[in-house]
Amino acid sequence: MKIGFDAKRAFFNNTGLGNYSRDTIKIISDYKKNDQFSLYTPKLVRNERLHFVNSQKNIKVCAPNSIKDKLFPFYWRSFGCLKKLKSDNLDIYHGLSNEIPFGIEHSGIKSVVTIHDLIFLRYPKLFSFFDRSIYYKKFKSSCQRADKIIAISQQTKKDIIDYFSIKEKKIQVIYQGCNTIFKQKVGKKEKQSVMHKYNLPGSFILYVGTIEERKNLMSLLKAVKNLHNVKLVVIGNGKKYKQKCLEYIYENKLNSNVFILKNVNFNDLPAIYQSAEIMVYPSFFEGFGIPIVEALFSKTPVITTKGGCFKEAGGPDTIYVNTSSVRDLKESIESLLLNKNKREKIKINGVNFAQKFSDEKIAKKLYETYKNL
């Protein structure tokens, strides 16, 4: 088969949608060496996390050539690329980040769109009116026009049905995986080197994610304030909400207990995960929650939020609490830190559960979806 991907996020984003795009492209191109895969990006930019593309003979990268398309990349991605897709004789086009080109439904090319979440509809106050309007039109239109929808969790599938009135049979749930570097054990010397590089404490709990209101870092900061000498390492960046968190840290004299890192080298992340006592993921709502899976593969116990998609990612042995309750969060962290046997049990059971997110299982489900079209 000839399969094309909307690769904008793979080239431009280094967090959620970018990670999903890169991981999907890599695992499916590894799984089917004899198929041809084309990556369509509105602009060629250097991204070290796409290094594998250069060594994969079955992958080619396509970008606009005309001055008009280069000047208007949004137009090319939504409309202009269709001519190129048809000339490349694609069998399947997969929109990896919530949208597909307009008109593809009349092109003879079968289309798939991955919908990650509909958070903008569940929590409208977190988004501007303009953003909500654009997302709603784009996402709903893509769901209506695509031949198949991939939802990254049962929760997202339910939301697509409820908010867009899409028939259940059109939606296939295929979970996200995570980068293979999180599945490899990091040696003691490398861990020490990374800890020294970022000046991290010997014992700490970990938060990974964008620092925005929905991710709920503030509740974790308040819990840490009430814990005796517990260190917190935060990996992520943000804007207004991050400033609010920094002010709280300063006002409550938590500077020596909270370490906020940004622009961490991706290759250093496994060492940090594997050095943490616990990974706390207090987000109110997600489409899936990839840091949970990264932690499970890293054999790091996880505390996260009750409800939503989190149990799909964390499995039966992860600790689920009401993360809007600072008291519940504080007591759960304290209890787990004091119970080494429980942490060891969660590590073993967690990594076993994480095997359902293996590259091979995900690639197989993806390819079956393409083949059935």
Q: What is the pLDDT of residues 148-193, one digit of tens each?
A: 999 999 999 999 999 999 999 999 999 988 889 999 999 999 999 9
> Is 139 in the same domain as 58?
yes
Query: What is the tens place of the pLDDT at every residue in 258-312?
Result: 999 988 999 999 999 999 999 999 999 898 999 999 999 999 999 999 988 999 9
Confidence of residue 222 (pLDDT cuts 50, 70, 90): very high
- Using DSSP, state whether 28 is helix, strand or coil: helix
Q: Which residues contact 114 (CB under 8 A, 6 or more apart)?
A: 20, 24, 94, 95, 96, 97, 98, 149, 150, 151, 152
Residue 86 has pLDDT above 90, yes or no: yes
Query: What is the tens place of the pLDDT at every residue in 336-348?
Result: 999 999 999 999 9
CA–CA gap between residue 69 and residue 75 (Å, rounded): 7
> Is 147 in the same domain as 185?
no
> Is 166 in the same domain as 249?
no
CA–CA gap between residue 193 and residue 197 (Å, rounded): 6
> Is 69 in the same domain as 153?
yes
CA–CA gap between residue 103 and residue 79 (Å, rounded): 7
> Is 173 in the same domain as 57?
yes
Q: What is the pLDDT of residue 371?
A: 96
Place of tokens 């992340």: 269
> Is 137 in the same domain as 254?
no
Query: What's the predicted TM-score (pTM) here?
Result: 0.91
CA–CA gap between residue 239 and residue 366 (Å, rounded): 36
How far is the CA of 364 from the CAs of 90, 111, 369, in angstroms?
A: 20, 18, 9
Range of the domain at 194: 180-356
Query: What is the tens place of the pLDDT at every residue in 205-215?
Result: 999 999 999 99
> Is 164 in the same domain as 190?
no
Q: What is the pLDDT of residue 263?
A: 84
CATH of the domain at 166: 3.40.50.2000
> Is 261 in the same domain as 136?
no
Indicate the number of domains in the chain. 2
Confidence of residue 46 (pLDDT cuts 50, 70, 90): confident
> Is 129 in the same domain as 238?
no
> Is 125 in the same domain as 221?
no
How far is the CA of 242 from the CAs of 131, 153, 221, 329, in angstroms?
A: 21, 28, 12, 20
> Is 163 in the same domain as 219?
no
Q: Which residues contact 347 (CB under 8 A, 6 or more apart)?
A: 299, 300, 301
CA–CA gap between residue 184 and residue 226 (Å, rounded): 34
The pair of structure tokens assigned to 338 is: 């004091």
First to last CA, the chain: 11
> Is 137 in the same domain as 165?
yes
